[in-house]
A and B are shown apart, each in its own frame.
Chain A
């Protein structure tokens, strides 16, 4: 069971997830401190470790639009969050798969902060509301990167074993 700790509207940009003024901080291990930095209450709760890893952030349409900054993915991953959204912007989804931030495309998701969810393979079940919402599988091109353990591992394997090219989708 995973608890919803935060809910956003549509078109949440990477400027909201990780404001540009912190972009000089580049290392993935350093980025979690600035997660949703302009929402002081949520940021403080994250910093105080009050949010259990595996908790869910529920997003609307076009989650992660805007800048390609992958700090927006690493900052969420650093807190162990799972993002269940009605839809994702292309570059954010790609960055998430590359870095191992778990993203679930769930076009009809209906959940409020505090709800308990079961994240299944084909559907998200909102236990609190007693309703189930189907999942759209990730594009196969992205799933192959996730299955390899992220893009760094995928690229390393390709570097040392050029023959593994045929292993791709």
Chain B
């Protein structure tokens, strides 16, 4: 029986010829990423070594990435203290893939890992963040873990007792209509699968529409695979993966473009034709509460958000800038923009997007997790329309607020009207 991409990656990382779904294995980890919650990882890591007489040393500092993004710059004394602790730990352990609060580098962890060339196809990547699924966009097997599990990886260099997951194959064909994007595809798929439809499973993406999609769109798909419960989302590596890593991320080493076997066994196969897809909206308060835009068009919104690890890339800002250039966002609407990285922010400045957005009335914030999870800035008072990835009750810092999720095209069109608006109809 052939293997899926996830099985092949796990087999290689375990030194085995093959692994079967349900096997309990212990893959070596190629990259271990954490953000501000590194402060908790350090605490748990110290606990592992307590009483052993051994000095706490991470297994391989070159395979650890630490990126500040959730609360940058620090919003409280508590965060400032945590960041100080992490900064000192990174220096003491020799962790070089450390991105502090600075404008020449850094941003949201999931964007930084991709654009710095830390991701590779075939890697096993663990991250102390659920959206670590993002890195499957470059052909890696990447999954989220808790802080204690990260401390275990730091100690042993392996992910212990991993059960080989089954894989759902999603075949996407057809051509996207104008103003319909990968975000609409993944929202539609989550609506189909439900919030737990891929729990304990991997989603592997195939089809013409995926092959023709740039890495920026693949990152959207894999990023939000976790919203269907998936352990990982994976786009098998191809020429676009090579192009992105070589041309945009500056990677020069050999790449292992892991492919599934033709006779790989899948848990189920889902076929999607994007030619018939319209803009999608995830309505409060679950990500699988997805409707076609016609069902909610006209709903009044107060805060428009464009940014995050899901939709804060240059093509997203291009869409927003293109629609808002020379125009004004509606009175009574706040528009918050946070690019996914400083590299993107600077490119958007060079191309004039940032000025266009500010002149239209947007507030452009520094790269980081921003208001997505309600921890830092831009807390929600009323109703938000957002390109981020979650709309759980209380997500944007206020349990009385409501969050609708959409693509940047919908967000930009709606900023002008002040109500949820189909970008195909807004002039």
Contacts and interface: CB of A to CB of B under 8 A. Distances in A.
Contacts of B78: 24-25
Contact of A152 (B37, B48, B82, B163): B48
A129 to B, nearest CB: 26
Contacts of A62: 195-196, 199, 229
Interface stretch (B330-338, B359-367, B389-397): B389-397
A61 to B, nearest CB: 6
Interface stretch (B8-16, B107-115, B144-152, B207-215): B144-152
Nearest to A140: B24
Interface residues of A, number: 47
Given A26-B82, A90-B231, A152-B148, A159 B155 contact: yes
A159 B149 contact: no
B44 interface: yes
B120 interface: no
A55 interface: no
Contacts of B152: 98, 151-152, 154-155
A19 B145 contact: no
Contacts of B161: 141-142, 144-145, 168-169
Interface string A64-101: 01111110010000000000000101110011001100
A57 B380 CA distance: 29
A91 B48 contact: no
Given A66-B390, A68-B129, A23 B196 contact: no
Given A21-B374, A87-B199, A169-B161, A26 B47 contact: no
A137 to B, nearest CB: 13
A15 interface: yes
Contacts of A16: 392-394
B375 interface: yes
A87 B37 CA distance: 26
B54 interface: yes
Contacts of B229: 62, 65, 89-90
Nearest to A13: B392
A16 B391 CA distance: 11
Contacts of A91: 130, 144-146
Contacts of B425: none
B196 A155 contact: no
A27 B130 contact: no
Given A139-B163, A155-B156, A15 B394 contact: yes
A155 B155 contact: yes
The main secondary structure of chain B at its interface with chain A is loop
A114 B256 CA distance: 57
Interface in B35-50: 36-37, 39-40, 43-44, 47-50
B160 interface: yes
B175 to A, nearest CB: 33
Given A61-B196, A89-B229, A24 B71 contact: yes
Contacts of B393: 13, 15-16, 38
B36, B37, B79, B379: which has the most chain A beta carbons within 10 Å?
B37
A70 B24 contact: no
Contacts of B144: 68, 91
A21 B75 CA distance: 11
A11 interface: yes
A131 interface: no
A15 B151 contact: no
B148 A99 contact: yes
A70 B392 CA distance: 17
B40 A70 contact: yes
Interface string A1-33: 000000000010101100111011111000000
A77 to B, nearest CB: 12
B375 A27 contact: no
A156 interface: yes
B269 interface: no
A87 B199 CA distance: 10
B26 A24 contact: no
A95 B146 contact: yes
B52 interface: yes
Given A26-B37, A69-B37, A168 B149 contact: no
A94 B146 contact: yes
5 contacts: A19-B374, A23-B37, A91-B146, A99-B148, A150-B148
Interface of A: 11, 13, 15-16, 19-21, 23-27, 38, 61-62, 65-70, 73, 87, 89-91, 94-95, 98-99, 139-142, 144-145, 150-152, 154-156, 158-160, 168-169
Interface of B: 24, 26, 36-37, 39-40, 43-44, 47-52, 54, 70-71, 76, 78-79, 82, 128-130, 132, 144-149, 151-152, 155-156, 160-163, 195-196, 199-200, 229, 231, 286, 288, 373-375, 379, 390, 392-395, 397, 399
Q: Which 6 pairs of residues, A with B, have the shortest CB-CB distance?
A: A70-B146, A62-B196, A141-B161, A95-B146, A26-B40, A38-B399
